[in-house]
Structure 1
Amino acid sequence: MGFALVAERLFDGEEILEDVALVVGDDGRIVSLGGVAPAHAQYVHGLIAPGLVDIQVNGGGGVLFNQEPSVEALRTIGKAHAQFGTSAFLPTLITDRLDVMQLAASAVSEALRQEIPGVIGIHFEGPHLSVPKKGTHEQSFIRPLSDAEWALYARDDLGIKVVTLAPETVPVEDIHRLVSMGVCVCLGHSNSDGKTALAALEAGATGFTHLYNAMSPLHSREPGMVGTALIRDEAWCGLIADGHHVCVEAMKLALKAKPRGKLILVTDAMPLVGSDALSFPLFDRVVTRERDKLTSSTGELAGSHLDMIGAVRNICRWCHLKIEEGLRMASLYPAQFLGLHMGRISLGSRADMILLDKDIQVQKTWIGGYQVFTR
């Protein structure tokens, strides 16, 4: 399975190098980087970069994970996003019934066992949310933590576990308990004041789900969720850079406020990514796509039609970032948030890589040394 190439340009996670030889071994890891290229190495035009890591993927390829919590669905979603550079992702289940959560967890467990390309764990976005900030989540499924959810979050066969919750609905001792069980706790869909959000961070929460969206705003005498997210240097913040969820000025503010490495690009992608369909059902509603905007029949934004490399292009163009930083926001920084050794091309690292052309369009994607997409 191993292969060798010479990259016209290669971004290793820190800097862009030119005419770099790279050899991938049969185990899917990089065994040689730089130096003299093997005689059989293929010269590759374009930019080789680390594969992209998306921590919030609701669906793709015509499949919504909530509606099809199965291994085959995860395979389809992974293939859909691989064509846009995603080499690792967290299938995300929005607020739903307990039995759907259990099916989703079992699907992820089996996908990890089968090594379905791209799947690294699961993100439960809800159901412990704030009704006033529910967004498009189904209100009838929002509920407090119960023994059944505790049992689910305690599973040790789910890979990376992320739970998004509203801190005003979950006591700090429960947040601390979740963290002690290996759950990465994010704050979101919350109408909390700054004091409550800060207490959740001190209890072990580490991130904010889709900064600005579905959270209490910054006011002059109350920081709210947004102010707390921006002022706390240690907290990571996801950002949906599609031009609909967050305006360019708010993106620039977040880039100024947060330390380098703490702002993460996410898609919050819905099933229409990688699909030609223009609508899909969501519980008792219909979500319709108009260009790249998704709107529920009840009026709210309903996830996005964004892909990861599109998010990189957007943030670089709108906020005048270098391509290196845009790629780090989509690879290295989310990997660091999850505690994973991804987002770099280095000796011994897994060969999760993408090939980009001059327009920052994905031409090839490799996951663990396997070429899973070619344009």
Structure 2
Amino acid sequence: MSVDNITSPETPYALINFKPLTGHPEQQAITAIIIENGRISAIGTAEDVVRDYQTIDLNGLMLSPGFIDLQINGCGGVLFNDDISINTLDIMHAANLRSGCTTFLPTLITSSDEDMRQAVSVVREYKTMHPDRVPGIHLEGPYLNLERKGIHDINYIREPSPSMIDFFCENADVITMITLAPEMCPAGTIERLSQAGIVVSIGHTNATCEQAKAAEKAGARFATHLHNAMSPLGSREPGVIGAIFDSEVLGAGIIADGHHLAWENLRIAHRLMQDRLILVTDASTPAGTDMETFQFAGQTIYHKDGKCFNVDGTLAGSALTMIEGVANSIREGIAPDDVIRMATVNAARAIHVENEMGSIAVGQFANIAIFDDSFTLRGTVSGGELKLSK
């Protein structure tokens, strides 16, 4: 997306002449959005709210809340595990904006205690600077089941230590989500993390349905990349999938790239879970680029036809972008408003930031995606800064 028009967040302005696709059908009558000081200050009809503001005519383009990605390892040629730094997060944010993603949880996969501590420190600093971009970090591992490890480095998979659980709880304002295999963790682990305010996500697990339900009872509220790296649904042993489908509270991320699951499973999951289902990318280094190989978890990974895999064929994240996940889901039969909810308000609710982002609402961060009828991104508003292409 080449940028032809940039409006500073310090300049109050109004967006007009757009088609709202906000995930809230009752908002179809909105024809103007006022943005001031990085937040939405008013919504309504142009006649009612524009007044003396500078107006930006979107010429009939579609508009939605900015997409929120709860699981993203890297993109734009960088990987958070490889370079745990502010610069990496800046590059990821810039790449995300090209796909309408304005908010993300930088995801650190299985690594050392030292790297986890460094990642939390870096994300704390970045969140302070840019709360509209990064509400926290997602730690995916290292407390996983070796039988469902996927691409994660076997040398770092382990049981949690009391000192690291203490560290997580002490930094729960920055550690938004932790993915773990409940059957591999000592009793009381999930209770402590969830009571501290961290979203515990079941993932890379071979748990039985009974064990997954026990994890939910202990406070787990999410599942990582549904259908991938978890015990499947069986007729006599429902597994983690069965526990998720049978739950009324467990949310789940799902990767709509056509490689991580069949499209039928996307539709089935949405039909059963509705607003508990959230689009994620699980993106790695090549997302948003034309890179053909890269390093991930100490292995050479190949990127071909949108698929990321090692020499054995094991999936290694994805090259998916949020706008592609949205377009794929709509193309495969899920209603547009439902898909937008999966990419915005459902994600915000899953991590308890729905009062700050995820909707077009007064007081929320001015994070907006702008695209045409073919779901080609045409612009974003990120923290009030408008970038628009012609």
Mapping for residues 249-288 of structure 1, pairs under 5 Å: 249-258=264-273, 260-288=274-302
1:116/1:68 CA distance change after superposition, 3 Å = farther
- The equivalent residue for 1:359 is 374
1:289 aligns to 2:296 (yes or no): no
Counterpart among 217, 230, 238 of residue 245 in structure 2:
230
Counterpart among 318, 334, 337 of residue 304 in structure 1:
318
Counterpart among 28, 35, 42 of residue 31 in structure 1:
42
In the TM superposition, what whole-angstrom CA distance separates every residue of 1:327-366 from its partner, at most 9, and x where no partner exists? 1110010111111122211222221111111111211111
> Which of 322-331 and 121-130 deviates more?
322-331
CA RMSD of aligned residues (A): 1.7
- The equivalent residue for 1:242 is 257
Q: Distance in 2 between matches of 1:284 and 1:345?
A: 41
1:201 aligns to 2:201 (yes or no): no
1:107 aligns to 2:118 (yes or no): no
The letter for the 2-side match of 1:272 is P
Q: Distance in 2 between matches of 1:141 and 1:286?
A: 18
TM-score by length of 1: 0.95
- The equivalent residue for 2:350 is 337
On the 8 A contact 1:138/1:283 being kept in 2, the answer is yes
Report deviation, 1:18: 5.3
On the 8 A contact 1:13/1:345 being kept in 2, the answer is no
Q: Distance in 1 between matches of 2:38 and 2:300?
A: 44
1:255/1:117 CA distance change after superposition, 3 Å = closer
Counterpart among 18, 22, 28 of residue 17 in structure 1:
28
Q: Distance in 2 between matches of 1:59 and 1:228?
A: 30
- The equivalent residue for 1:88 is 103
1:7/1:18 CA distance change after superposition, 3 Å = farther
Report deviation, 1:371: 2.3
Report deviation, 1:32: 4.2
Q: Distance in 2 between matches of 1:76 and 1:190?
A: 31
What's the secondary structure of 2:285's corresponding residue?
coil
The letter for the 2-side match of 1:370 is E
Mapping for residues 159-174 of structure 1, pairs under 5 Å: 159=174, 161-174=176-189
- The equivalent residue for 1:322 is 335
- The equivalent residue for 1:156 is 171
The letter for the 2-side match of 1:307 is T
> Which of 247-256 and 135-144 deviates more?
247-256
Mapping for residues 37-76 of structure 1, pairs under 5 Å: 37-38=50-51, 40-45=54-59, 46-76=61-91
On the 8 A contact 2:323/2:375 being kept in 1, the answer is yes
What's the secondary structure of 1:303's corresponding residue?
coil
In the TM superposition, what whole-angstrom CA distance separates every residue of 1:311-330 from its partner, at most 9, and x where no partner exists? 11111111x12211111110
Report deviation, 1:22: 1.6
Report deviation, 1:217: 0.9
What's the secondary structure of 1:141's corresponding residue?
coil
1:98/1:226 CA distance change after superposition, 3 Å = same
Q: Distance in 1 between matches of 2:214 and 2:162?
A: 23
Aligned residues: 373
Q: Distance in 2 between matches of 1:172 and 1:33?
A: 51
In the TM superposition, what whole-angstrom CA distance separates every residue of 1:47-73 from its partner, at most 9, and x where no partner exists? 111010110010011111000011111
Report deviation, 1:12: 3.6
The letter for the 2-side match of 1:228 is A
On the 8 A contact 2:100/2:377 being kept in 1, the answer is yes
On the 8 A contact 1:82/1:373 being kept in 2, the answer is no
Q: Distance in 2 between matches of 1:34 and 1:108?
A: 38
Q: Distance in 2 between matches of 1:33 and 1:305?
A: 37
The letter for the 2-side match of 1:230 is F
Q: Distance in 1 between matches of 2:180 and 2:227?
A: 15
- The equivalent residue for 2:198 is 183
What's the secondary structure of 1:140's corresponding residue?
coil
1:313 aligns to 2:327 (yes or no): yes
What's the secondary structure of 2:115's corresponding residue?
helix
Report deviation, 1:297: 2.2
On the 8 A contact 1:12/1:346 being kept in 2, the answer is no
Report deviation, 1:236: 0.4
What's the secondary structure of 1:44's corresponding residue?
strand
Q: Distance in 2 between matches of 1:209 and 1:226?
A: 11
Q: Distance in 2 between matches of 1:168 and 1:157?
A: 22
- The equivalent residue for 2:6 is none
